[in-house]
Structure 1
């Protein structure tokens, strides 16, 4: 059984794999201070990319920056914002592109290099409880957080992706988006991302923009749901893992992050329109699955 507390340190885990074409790429990641988002940001920086990330709380962004040193810290741009607030996400994308353009422009003696090479729509979540408990506002908020913010991110970044000659977009779905389990509003929103990726892959293909969706399974993240269950109710945790995860352990954020960064890299230039589960062959998404 994997134990979170026995996992290697962040600095040891996020070692560059040397994927072709990642060094110097300019990537925007929403929700990059915790869990999977943080893992993606750290791995991208380790691979030599310039990364812009946002989160609602400035404290998390400050902690992320303070944990980095030297060149990695210099290649990180952050902003505190709520991705559902009108205009703020679009302003963040513009600011990130200008920041990247200024850095690259100084290196190349040009002032017109504010393109982007990649996006990761990592912010997500759910509001409301069961179907009977969740009202219309809960459904709308869950949709906006997962699907609305993703659509707005891609739309805001599209001119910059075109300016760079194309790029890679990775949407973060969930095992709940293709295997049934409550809450329904979350599963429905995540399932919409599968359709969105397939549709945008076709529509944006002529612009050399690839779009894929990665669907993580239940991730073992310190302090989050599965880690709390493992510590507070180990019998229930072991029953869930034993019944639903044939490998005997949930997937780790780092395993998912490696898949995301692979799809952003030039090793994946032939991959677009794909729904890619990273879940260790998980069955039901939770102990409450059907």
Structure 2
């Protein structure tokens, strides 16, 4: 299927490794021009060398760094047709034991970064009367599981996705989301847990994931690329679970 993405400029935040890198690679395979932003210099250099994409090193939890990164991409590539808000991470422990500044850090990285980049990209997309934004949240943004700081930020992101989608579609800009379940990749927390206790993780998969295995970063990426394409032109404000049946919710 031709997703008609050739020549589109795609900006992926947190795109240097894991799910973000898989997303960047999937767009490249569709003929898009791709830029990624992330903190890790080593991983960004690998992306430049192995994928031949534009990279920006920045701490995307900081407002000024987000503005600098977006300016860098638009000056280098001219515009952003598709924005993928992927940057994120988990921190803290129980609510009682987690300091307030840790909650703030979680929202700065997982939620406010997506809101800010969406607002920046929308100004260009609105002028062109077209564009797509895909926010990467989590099934734990819809139900219990994971750390409370992460869950709260991802729940807010799912709500933001629907609210902004209804606002942006009148200008031809589609906003959607993807909520991954437990995804196994070398740089992720699930891989660390498998390495630490493979038997425990085997039992987890058997009990919690009906498909009988962890998901892959590529499976998330394929869904993201479809949502960003015009083949998904009537999908607006949706956040799609990509989880092998893991989530317990009815939507």
TM-score tier (shorter) = over 0.9
Deviation track 1:230-278 (CA, whole Å, cap 9, x = no partner) reads 3331220111001001111011100000000101111111111001000
Deviation track 1:83-120 (CA, whole Å, cap 9, x = no partner) reads 1223221222122122222xxxxxxxxxxxxx321100
Aligned residue for 1:203? Answer: 167
Aligned residue for 2:21? Answer: 38
Aligned residue for 1:269? Answer: 233
Please list every run of at least 4 consecutive aligned residues from structure 1 whose deviation after the TM superposition is greater than 4 angstroms.
none
Aligned residue for 2:91? Answer: 127
Would you say 1:52 and 2:35 are equivalent positions?
yes
The 8 Å contact of residues 130 and 182 in structure 1, kept in 2 or not, is answered as no
Greater C-alpha Rg? 1
Would you say 1:220 and 2:197 are equivalent positions?
no
Aligned residue for 2:55? Answer: 78
User: 1:42 and 1:243, CA in 2 relative to 1: closer, same or farther beyond 3 A?
Assistant: same
The 8 Å contact of residues 18 and 187 in structure 2, kept in 1 or not, is answered as no
TM-score normalised per structure 1: 0.82
Q: Secondary structure at the match of 2:88?
A: coil
Give unpaired runs (5+ residues) of structure 2. Answer: none
Aligned residue for 2:66? Answer: 89
Instruction: Please give the residue correspondences for 1:249-288 in structure 2 after superposition, counting only pairs within 5 Å.
Output: 249-283=213-247
Instruction: Please give the residue correspondences for 1:111-190 in structure 2 after superposition, counting only pairs within 5 Å.
Output: 115-190=79-154
Aligned residue for 1:98? Answer: 75
CA distance in 1: counterparts of 2:34 and 2:2, whole angstroms: 16
The 8 Å contact of residues 175 and 277 in structure 1, kept in 2 or not, is answered as yes
Aligned residue for 1:238? Answer: 202
Q: Let me know the Cα RMSD of the aligned residues.
A: 1.4
Q: What is the number of residues matched between the two proteins?
A: 248
